[in-house]
Amino acid sequence: MSITKAQKTAEILTEALPYIQKYSGKTIVIKYGGNAMIDEDLKQSFAQDIVLLKQVGINPVVVHGGGPQIGNMLKQIGKESHFIDGMRVTDSETMDIVQMVLGGLVNQQIVTMINQAGGRAIGLTGKDGNLVQGKKLSIKKQAADSFPPEIIDLGHVGEVDKINAGVVKMLDADKYIPVIAPIGVGQDGTTYNINADLVAGKVASALCAEKLILLTNTPGVLDKKGDLLTGLDKDKINVLKAEGTIAGGMIPKIQCALDAVNDGVNNSVISDGRTPHAVLLELLTDRGAGTLIY
């Protein structure tokens, strides 16, 4: 290494020092999904980020998705995927596939990836230790004015009822990195497929996390010119929704981030998971890497 390159490395470490001190001992919940889970280079940079955070005394908790992987597996067995309002209709057969893919294949791939990077990751589903206690989610659709709303049955699709934070705290205390698949369990033992953003937000709230990072396939919230917006609070978000700047699939993601902040998380970030080392850029540099919601 040349002296110039070594000095540059030293400058980078010096820049990161105040952020390492700020977040030391704090919990950061990261929702991992999108391109960051598919591209090999991005997968490696994500694993390195998580291991580095743990090494410097920060407690990362990973909650992952896996929608495309589920879709591919269903296709392989000849089962067609059906969606209502962006949510996968999950009958009993589909739920078995969801558990196999999220709780087995995807979860263990992420665990192995982090461990190969030098970390100590442990894979969990929400069923382990009743970590994610869920309940059935139903959608109401307004029928004609003279009729009551139609109740849409999504099968085993659920929402979070309660998070058992003690399971994650125990792993954090033993220097492990929890990797959580968004599968919940009801009081009667029913298994539920739950949106990963929603689980990440609720886990962050239950842990009183310092920050929630939602990795996506976009730079963050963009204005109508395509420029990145940041520093958003509830009032600004309501204005952006009303004028149509925030629309479609970004609405539930923003709401998840805002709910976490309202429940005690210091701030949330919607960040571009297509950027190498997006987590480190957000946490340990002056630049940041997405839309901050506080």
In angstroms, what CA-CA distances link 242 with 8, 239, 251?
A: 45, 5, 11
Query: Angle, to 10 degrees, between the axis of helix 250-262 and the axis of helix 196-206?
Result: 10
Q: What is the rounded average pLDDT of the residues 249-269?
A: 90
Residue 136 domain flag: yes
Residue 248 domain flag: yes
Query: Angle, to 10 degrees, between the axis of helix 196-206 and the axis of helix 165-173?
Result: 70
- Number of structural domains (the chain) is 1
Residue pair 179/111 in contact (Cβ under 8 Å)? The answer is yes
Angle at 292 between CA 52 and CA 53, to 5 degrees: 10
Q: What is the rounded average pLDDT of the residues 67-89?
A: 85
User: How confident is residue 218, by pLDDT bands cut at 50, 70 and 90?
Assistant: confident
Read off the amino acid at residue 152: I
Q: Is the pLDDT confidence value at 124 over 60?
A: yes
In angstroms, what CA-CA distances link 158 with 30, 146, 257, 266, 292?
A: 21, 29, 19, 26, 28
pLDDT in tens, 243-255: 888 887 788 888 8
For residue 228, list its beta bridge partners: 222
Give the model's pLDDT for residue 106. 95
Residue 17 domain flag: no
Residue 110 domain flag: yes
Residue 199 domain flag: yes
Residue 34 domain flag: yes
Residue 142 domain flag: yes
Give the model's pLDDT for residue 146. 57
User: How confident is residue 141, by pLDDT bands cut at 50, 70 and 90?
Assistant: low
For residue 83, the domain's CATH number is 3.40.1160.10
User: How confident is residue 182, by pLDDT bands cut at 50, 70 and 90?
Assistant: very high
Q: State the SS3 of 83-138.
A: EECCEECECHHHHHHHHHHHHHHHHHHHHHHHHHCCCCEEEEECCHHHCEEEEEEE
Residue pair 40/113 in contact (Cβ under 8 Å)? The answer is no
Which of 61, 136, 60 has the alpha carbon at shortest distance from 95? 136
Q: What is the rounded average pLDDT of the residues 182-199?
A: 94
pLDDT in tens, 27-38: 999 999 877 788
Q: Which domain holds residue 181?
A: 28-280
The alpha carbon of 3 is separated from its chain's Cα centroid by a whole number of angstroms, namely 40
Q: What is the pTM of this model?
A: 0.91
Residue 21 domain flag: no
Q: Is the pLDDT confidence value at 126 over 60?
A: yes
Q: Is the pLDDT confidence value at 170 over 70?
A: yes
> Which of 6-10, 41-45, 64-68, 145-149 shows the lowest mean pLDDT across its residues?
145-149
